[in-house]
Amino acid sequence: MDVTELKSRHIIYAILFLVIVIFLSATTGPAQLPLGQFFAAVAVHLPVISGHFHVSSLNEALVWQLIMPRICLGLLVGAMLASAGAAYQGVFLNPLADPYLLGVASGAGLGATIVLVFIPVALSFSFNLLPVAAFIGAVISVALTFTLGKAAGSGRNSSSLLLSGIAVAAFFTAAQTFLQQRSSAGQIQDVYSWILGSLATAGWSDVTLILPYVGLSAITLVAMRRLLDALAVGDLEAQSIGVKASTIRIIIIIAATLGTAAAVSVSGLIGFVGIIVPHMIRLVMGPSYKRILPLSILYGGAFLVLADYLARTILYPEEVPLGVITAFLGAPFFLVVLRTSKRLI
Amino acid sequence: MNQMLSRINRFCFTGALKYRFKSIFASATLFFLVMTISLPGASASVKRIPERADGIATTSFTQRFASVKSGSSAVINRKKAKKSFPVTISSGGYKDTVPTRPTRILCLSASSTQMLYAIGAGKQVVAVDKYSAYPKNAPRTSFTGYETSAEDYLPYHPNLVILAFNENNMVQQLNVLHIPVLVMPAANTIRSADIQMLQLGLATGHYLAAKKQVNKLATTLHQISHRVGNKGQGLTYFIELSPSLYTATSSTFIGSVFSLFKMKNIAGQVKYNSNYPQINSSFLLKSNPDIVILADTVCCGQTPKSFASRPGYSVLQAVKNHNVYGVNDSVASEWGPHTLVVMAQYLAQVLIHRAAVKSHLVMINNNLSGRASSVYTRIILSR
């Protein structure tokens, strides 16, 4: 029996868990809508059957404009962060690697801060400039990391890449801190809200904005899952079986980084998902990326939807920053898995 | 994390504030001063007293004026009021003595600046912070109130410094330099703002003028409230402080302005950890307020139009009825008499002409100073 192959039952369990979390999040949230009203609000947006349902405009707006986009965005962001985290851990052979390793967070943070501080009026445009600026910032910082890492190391040495990532992140964070110092109190609050991560203002436009990036990135990573296993045994061994390690590494890093940049641009900096979800799967299912990557996508999405559900319900009507929930929920659970599992990371 | 959030809340809403990061050199200076303060005997002049949750000082002074109410005759101890200096004032958890009538006042709170000029102490003011927008002739400086060293204030040779908060241990620093300092924290009610005005009157030698001003203010508010009648009774409102839905509850100064018209805050039904909570968008939609006030037009570029265009918000009756109004951000963070009257008048106009106003773009644009009142009145009435 191959303990590295992904079985259909693993996928079924993960999808079942995901469906339960979505259902729980959609129907038992603070809106406290009757189930009939909830399904009617969804049904009026479906072709063919839409004419058979009636729902008040308020309930329809609650479900279709606020709850559903938030759940969908949670799925996409969670799936992206978890799979990118798993991919980074595989590429750098480092269990502490997370999706923000190469400066994505600091670059996106600087981009977002520039918009919030210098062009606050952009927030009132019908086309939201904030995620675009965050995305551009993230891409620029990772491009800088690559350029500096290449210049510093011979070839694509992963250590020099990591070190240049740390340097670029420090530089961008310093620039962001300087801008925050020059901004007003209201702007600082928005910057902090963004840094702590939130899906509170999610809309369908955010979902459609990141869907292509996340989709492409996730497909690429899943397609590369066998090659990640090959990288785990070492570059020379991988090359001996016909795998060009440096090329594979670059493709995976670019895919994971672009997807992460897109996710971060709409959700802010949500921590822990990218480390905890892949490790929990690794501890339970074993070290093979053939299992870790596809399951990270499903469980990562479910985990973030669940965390967001708690963020908007536990102190209702107040919102709790999503980053707080992911750490509160994820860290103890992870420690339990770590303690009870006999597998090694 | 909670510490960080409470810190954000604290300095975001206790005045038109500015976050100030310490530079290495400033930190070194601060370290030196703190070390000096901590020397035996040096800290004797700093007397920290217990602070009440509502931010009003719990000292003998406040107890003496406990019966001061807006709209009623204040209890005045005339002998004490006319008593020459020194006077000891307790406020914001600190107590200090003003030895002589101050002639060089440095005021680092926009609300206190309004109060000083209202009670006739303007001539004694030598410098105010950059956020003191009213009155226009106030001697504005680049100070923010977040200066790390008291040394920054010395070129003005102040003999009284008024702060809104004790950032960077400024009270202790000024005590070391033997400069009297008063801390006038954010008022949560009109009454606590009145008490601050009386305290400033006592500290500057204008107590009777301050008392007169408090009574005048109460009469003005009563007249405004009378003009509106019961048009606001039972109407629900939401104050937006940032697009991420931070709001002010009815237990805040701006909330008390709405309470003048018997309006209900949608965030008023729940007990929060803060008076400035971040609420859920589902809650906003379900609460469906009659009136929405945007106090994030400056910081975050929000307009009634951008508010209406957010996902799902078009169903709100405030949006449908064009009752979303943009105001200057400072109305949510100042408690001075000018801001109070302008906001009350603005709200009165909104309530009286609410049904007739058919525009999303009713804004107070000129920083609530000078001609603000007449400008917005004309805008509404001309619709």
Q: Is residue A51 part of a domain?
A: no
Query: Which among B1, B267, B286 is the nearest to A31, CB-wise?
Result: B286
Query: Do B145 and B174 form a contact (C-beta atoms < 8 A)?
Result: no
Residue B160, pLDDT > 60, answer: yes
Find the CB nearest A318 among B11, B279, B310: B279
Helix axis angle, A204-223 to A245-267, nearest 10°: 160
> What pLDDT, on a 0 to 100 scale, did the predictor assign at position A238?
76
| Bond before A317 cis per omega within 30 degrees | yes
Please tell me the predicted confidence (pLDDT) of residue B6: 45
Please enumerate in sequence order all residues whose Cβ is within 8 A of that of B53, keeping only pairs 6 or more positions apart, or say none. Answer: none
State which residue of chain A sits closest to B6, comparing Cα positions.
Answer: A189
Residue A44 falls within a domain, yes or no?
no
**Is residue B57's pLDDT more than 90?**
no
In the predicted model, is pLDDT for residue A218 greater than 80?
yes
Residue A85 banded pLDDT, cuts 50, 70, 90 = very high
Residue A120 counted as domain residue: yes
Which has more pLDDT, B45 or A323? A323
Nearest to A69 among B288, B311, B315 (CB): B311
Examine residue A92 and state whether it is found in any structural domain, yes or no: yes
Domain tally, chain A: 1
Look up tokens 């939401």; give the residue: B238
* First-residue to last-residue Cα distance in chain A: 22
Give the pLDDT mean for B43-66: 35
Asked if B281's CB is within 8 angstroms of A200's CB, the reply is: yes
Residue B365's pLDDT band, with cuts at 50, 70 and 90, is very low
Residue B380 reports pLDDT greater than 50: no
DSSP collapsed to 3 states, B108-162:
CCHHHHHHHHHCCCHHHEEEECCCCCCCCCCCECCCCCCCCCHHHHHHHCCCEEE
A184-193, B167-176, B180-189 — which is least confidently predicted?
Answer: A184-193
Kindly state the average pLDDT of the residues A283-303. Answer: 92
List the one residue out of A81, A55, A43 whose CA is nearest residue A277.
A81
Q: What's the mean pLDDT in B170-179?
A: 93
Check CB contact under 8 Å for B19 and A180.
yes
pLDDT on residue B373: 37
User: What is the average pLDDT score of chain B?
Assistant: 76
Q: Which member of A61, A317, A327 has the closest CB to residue B312?
A: A61
Asked whether residue A26 is assigned to any structural domain, the reply reads: no
Q: Is B234 an interface residue toward A (CB < 8 Å)?
A: no
Query: Alpha-carbon distance A279 to A301, whole Å?
Result: 15
A223 in a domain, yes or no? yes
The CATH number of the domain holding residue A258 is 1.10.3470.10
Domain for residue A115, yes or no? yes
C-alpha distances out from residue B293 to A147, B82, B186, B225, B328, Å: 48, 43, 20, 19, 10
Chain A residues within 8 A of B315 when measuring between CB atoms: 57-58, 60-61
Question: Which of A37-51, A318-332, B70-84, B103-117 is the least confident region?
Answer: B70-84
A198 pLDDT tier (thresholds 50, 70, 90)? confident
CB contacts, 8 Å: B26 with chain A? none
Query: A243: closest CA among A266, A225, A219?
Result: A225
B318 touches A at CB < 8 Å: no
Residue B289 CA: distances (Å) to CA of A286, B201, B255 = 53, 40, 14
Query: Is A193 in Cβ contact with B242 (below 8 Å)?
Result: yes
pLDDT over 70 (residue B70): no
Contact B311 A203 (CB under 8 A): yes
- Tell me the range of A233-242, B209-218, B323-332 where mean pLDDT is highest: B209-218
> Residue A127: which pLDDT band, with cuts at 50, 70 and 90?
low
Residue of B293, B316, B300, B285 lying closest to A70 (CA atoms): B285
**Confidence at residue A33, expressed as pLDDT on a 0 to 100 scale:** 77
Rounded to an integer, the average pLDDT of B92-116 is 95
Q: What is the ipTM of this complex?
A: 0.73
Per the prediction, chain A carries an average pLDDT of 85
Give yes or no for residue A18 having a pLDDT over 90.
yes
Percent of chain A having pLDDT more than 70? 92
Q: Above 70 in pLDDT, residue B236? A: yes
Average of per-residue pLDDT across B203-210: 95
Q: Is residue A41 part of a domain?
A: no
pLDDT band at residue A186 under the 50/70/90 scheme: low
Residue B81 pLDDT level (bands cut at 50, 70, 90): low
Residue B366 has pLDDT above 50, yes or no: no
> Under an 8 A CB cutoff, do A123 and B243 touch?
yes
Residue A230: which domain range? Answer: 69-340
Mean pLDDT is lowest, of A5-9, A31-35, A149-153, B256-260, for A149-153
Q: Is A293 exposed, middle or buried (0-12, 13-18, 19+ CB in 10 A)?
A: buried
